[in-house]
Structure 1
């Protein structure tokens, strides 16, 4: 099916970033409930959110800034103090379509550019066709399959394709396991891919306000180049379209194999996020 590229205006970027901020808030709350303590937080800030879940968690960040004014100094002071009290740096992910004053403010406060990530999108309709290569089966992961799902995904993440800008992040297996369980509690659905009956990879999907967030996918190295990623993507897109989503979004490393794969499936680059990090000491 031919799909025309679409223009990403600021209001679309705001909608996607709002969905990301909502996901981080829900995931941080899920982590708090799982742990049963008060180490985590989710602090609203200028239309975005600053979240901390636990040590080394992928949910420790500021997301969604730049679409509802510029954060004031007092709010950033509180956020930076919260991260410092937990021995963590502050990572802010800022879309290039956000208010440029945000980047200037963070730079003035000592944040340094560390990396970039690309946000790509695909317009959906309710006729998106599901397609899987022979021998590949993709379905929603059962609870008793989670460990096998995690093994395949962790194996895939541990052996990334050496193409494009490398990721600035790497997570221990237990941290990844906690994060994925928290994702599930936040409404993320896990999909398992089997190749000839063997677990070959996995992916995930969250639907909110008509936005389908493809929140990660990986294939174990032994099963690559067999259509597993194509099947995972196709199945999730078909389910998202059936759920009424009008857009699917995915985040990739710039010029990576993942970006190349989704662009081959019709995704278009919408915008880039700058990753700005500030090292903070105890207060």
Structure 2
């Protein structure tokens, strides 16, 4: 229900949901024959460090779940990434924010580079009736939970919707097709007269669903397609027994506002910390 008071236990579930889907996604890529993406997952206390040799982007080389309790692990964390020639991104939620941790990160050459919002809504089974009425109310738009042979459609929208080159379509398709049929994962494509124009992913574990990714082709934005994709994932999550829906977005971005329109409210903004200098230059 929108406007409900956020409890500490719920905030903990929000953070845990993001860590859990990232662990499962990275494990799926690691389990590919030969581990072609060079995936590694390392635990430092309660913190989880993710690394990919072939994907240098921050979201695949990030530390989640860190708090002041893990300050003593910072040299090991730095060495983990330094030995792999990678600058990590470190994410801190308000639940784990402590001045001592911030000072330690600064001493290791990190600075706060951005914020990222986590939104949520708590759902009940009766939520489905209202979502059912809203879903697919845009003419010619069909929301489909895709099968394994439709991942090229997904990858095409993923690349064109996020500004990646079309040469990346086969790689995006392969890295996501491995999640098809894996417990908890659902992939959706929005079609306009059989042309893929939007895409989205959901991950469900226990009674929590994460809206992990979504994008729309630039020419089809501002038409409500993302709202349809959010509502479809929410409806399916409630049918699967989930009572908490979680999503992440840049603060006040179009994705943020789309989630608000669908009934999600702000849980918190987490801080993102980035390296000020190359790791090879750190002590």
Query: Quick check: TM above 0.5?
Result: yes
Q: Structure 1, residues 65-91: CA drift from partner, whole Å, max 9, x if none?
A: 23xx61042x32222212112211011
CA distance in 2, matches of 1:88, 1:175: 21
Aligned residue for 2:89? 91
Cα pair distance change 1:190/1:108, threshold 3 Å? same
- Partner SS, residue 200 of structure 2: strand
Of 23-32 and 137-146, deviating more is 23-32
Cα pair distance change 1:255/1:50, threshold 3 Å? same
Pair 1:63 & 2:54 matched: no
Aligned residue for 1:243? 240
How far is 1:275 from its partner? 0.6
TM-score scaled to structure 1, two decimals? 0.84
Which of 137, 141, 149 is equivalent to 2:146? 141
Of 14-23 and 111-120, deviating more is 14-23
Of 222-231 and 135-144, deviating more is 222-231
- Partner SS, residue 24 of structure 2: helix
Task: Please tell me the root mean square deviation across aligned C-alpha atoms, in Å.
Answer: 2.4
Contact 1:195–1:228 (Cα < 8 Å) also in 2? no
Which of 218, 228, 231 is equivalent to 1:231? 228
Greater share of helix residues, 1 or 2? 2
Aligned residue for 1:122? 121
How far is 1:112 from its partner? 1.1
CA distance in 2, matches of 1:36, 1:220: 33
Pair 1:76 & 2:74 matched: yes
Gaps of 5+ in 1: 160-171
CA distance in 2, matches of 1:173, 1:59: 18
What pairs with 1:43-58 in structure 2 (closer than 5 Å)? Answer: 43-54=42-53, 55-57=55-57, 58=59
Count of residues in correspondence between the two structures: 266
CA distance in 1, matches of 2:183, 2:28: 6
Of 31-40 and 225-234, deviating more is 31-40
Gaps of 5+ in 2: none
Which of 12, 15, 23 is equivalent to 2:13? 15
How far is 1:232 from its partner? 0.8
